[in-house]
Amino acid sequence: MPTTILWFRRDLRLSDHPALAAALGRGGAVLPVYIHAPEEEEPWAPGAASRAWLHFSLKALDEALSARGSRLVLRRGPSLEALLELVAESEADAVFWIRRYEPRIIARDTMIKAALRRRGIRAESFSGSLLVEPWTLSTGEGKPYRVFTPFWRAARERLTPESPLPAPSALPAPPRFPQSLSLPELGLLPKPRWDEPFWRLWQPGEPGAQARLREFIEDVLPQYKSSRDRPDQKGTSRLSPHLAFGEISPRQILAAVRASDLGSSVSAAKFLSELGWREFSHHLLYHFPHCAEANLNPRFDAFPWAEPDPASLQRWQQGSTGVPIVDAGMRELWQTGWMHNRVRMLVASFLTKNLRIHWLHGARWFWDTLLDADLANNTQGWQWTAGTGADAAPYIRIFNPVLQAQRFDPEGAYIRRFLPELAGLPKERIHAPWEGMLPRDYPPPMVDLATSRQEALAAFSTIKGRFKDEG
């Protein structure tokens, strides 16, 4: 009987898992494996918050496998060596996995596929994390898309009505399971355990992802179009960490939304277009692999960023800039491992424009602290907000954090939740407390918003000539 190694990576689920379905389709045993090899992902090895999530996601996956007569074997990298050892120990003749799209991972997986095949082992990868794989779409001129709207228009036409695959009821076990490391041996949890408060808000793993999707469709989707920009409301799905770890597939989300009563509503279209941004981000990272570290738009390479000043960066990181919506966002991130999308844009704009600090400093902090850290989405989010990206808002469009907060957190409820030192201020003062007497324990803004805006525009004017040919 053939044994297939099922190599789990960022697809920590059992339903809608094409590699698992294919392994079962061979008729033999399935050996589920996770290999911890952070060094192979450098310089974007999982950050501290992601590692904590990963711990609980692997636990949930092992439980789901155990309930089906199987278990998850844990090993350490290098991945190729670990796979070859497992092949030898289990007499497996095939290794199946779901594809990832980060440049270093593609290079590693290509090498592994070739090495396995050279040894006569069947090595197959499957699509399971995206709706549309990056190389399947191109513009009329055969080039990658750089603008979201035409990308999503083209992508939508490709979305097949295929039903997601159900989870199998059992996984045939190999005659003997190879030895496994214990989960604590992977050392994924932080010391001390600052992550504990997170788990009152989040349930890592496939059951948690499915529950969140159901709640979202019932409670939030009806008003998503208007609520999605409101950090003071539970107005979005909060599926992002589940998607980042592949505990749910975008195809499952698409199918569930389409099958709901609201499937053809404006809110559903808006929500699905956010999934479209996820697809677009992966398209960009795949076709422009340098963009995780460098400006997608090389005209920005001459931009005069301010010298990175550790004290300023730290004030931003700790949420003590003196600008309430920025500080509330940074503390939401620290306390919950997540930040609302609108506020992500505001804190990123403040860092890259008002402080003129290079977007990579922000991207790295997000990388370490976000539970949903995802290289494609994070890179695209930072480059878009900094104005250095492809489908970029021009640099000159600088968010005014006071006006934005007044619009999207009108009562100041979000600010009060994360900045208790401002909780006593009335809504008329909470967005710009420096305009009256400041509470004793809250600082004045670290930069004047109007002056720093002018300075940012002046800095941009030094490279403006390079953009002239863009019209």
Ligand X SMILES: Cc1cc2nc3c(=O)[nH]c(=O)nc-3n(C[C@H](O)[C@H](O)[C@H](O)COP(=O)(O)OP(=O)(O)OC[C@H]3O[C@@H](n4cnc5c(N)ncnc54)[C@H](O)[C@@H]3O)c2cc1C
Q: Active-site residues: which are they? A: 274, 277, 305, 341, 359, 382
Query: How far, in Å, CA of 253 to CA of 210, rounded?
Result: 9
Site for ligand X in 229-258 (CB under 6 A): 236-240, 243-244
- Out of 58, 130, 360, 373, point to the residue binding ligand X (CB under 6 A): 373
Residue 244 C-beta: closest distance to ligand X, Å = 5
Q: Does 377 bind ligand X (CB under 6 A)?
A: yes
Sign for the CA dihedral angle at 221, 227, 231, 234 comes to negative
Residue 380 C-beta: closest distance to ligand X, Å = 6
> Which residues 6+ apart lie within 8 Å of 465 measured at CB?
none
Start-end of H helices in 119-249: 148-158, 206-215, 224-227, 240-244
Site for ligand X in 45-64 (CB under 6 A): none
Query: How far, in Å, CA of 151 to CA of 134, rounded?
Result: 11
Q: Does 133 bind ligand X (CB under 6 A)?
A: no
Residue 374 C-beta: closest distance to ligand X, Å = 4
Q: Contact region for ligand X (CB under 6 A) — 24-32, 102-110, 118-126, 276-284?
A: 276-284
- What are the structure tokens assigned to 271, written together? 């929500």
Q: Does 414 bind ligand X (CB under 6 A)?
A: no
Residue 117 C-beta: closest distance to ligand X, Å = 33
Query: How far, in Å, CA of 35 to CA of 7, rounded?
Result: 8
User: Which of 291-313 are b and which e, b meaning 16 or more Cβ less than 10 Å from the residue's Cβ?
Assistant: bbeebbbeebeebebeeeeeebb
What is the chain's length? 471
- Out of 57, 249, 252, 281, point to the residue binding ligand X (CB under 6 A): 281
Pick the closer one to ligand X by CB: 378 or 388. 378
Residue at shortest CB range from ligand X: 381
Find how far residue 168's CA is from the centre of its chain. Answer: 27
- Out of 23, 73, 186, 275, point to the residue binding ligand X (CB under 6 A): 275
Q: Does 188 bind ligand X (CB under 6 A)?
A: no
Quick count: other Cβ atoms within 10 Å of Cβ 327?
26
Q: Contact region for ligand X (CB under 6 A) — 39-47, 151-159, 300-308, 379-387?
A: 379-387
Pick the closer one to ligand X by CB: 97 or 216. 216
Q: Does 292 bind ligand X (CB under 6 A)?
A: no
Residue 432 C-beta: closest distance to ligand X, Å = 23
Residue 88 C-beta: closest distance to ligand X, Å = 37
Strand order of the sheet with strand 3-8?
73-76, 29-36, 3-8, 94-98, 122-126
- Out of 51, 99, 108, 228, point to the residue binding ligand X (CB under 6 A): 228
Query: How far, in Å, CA of 425 to CA of 338, rounded?
Result: 25
In which region does residue 6 sit, left (phi positive, over 0), alpha (psi from -120 to 50) or beta (all else)?
beta
Residues that bind ligand X (CB under 6 A): 228, 236-240, 243-244, 274-275, 277-278, 281, 341, 344-345, 348, 366, 370, 372-374, 377-378, 380-382, 385
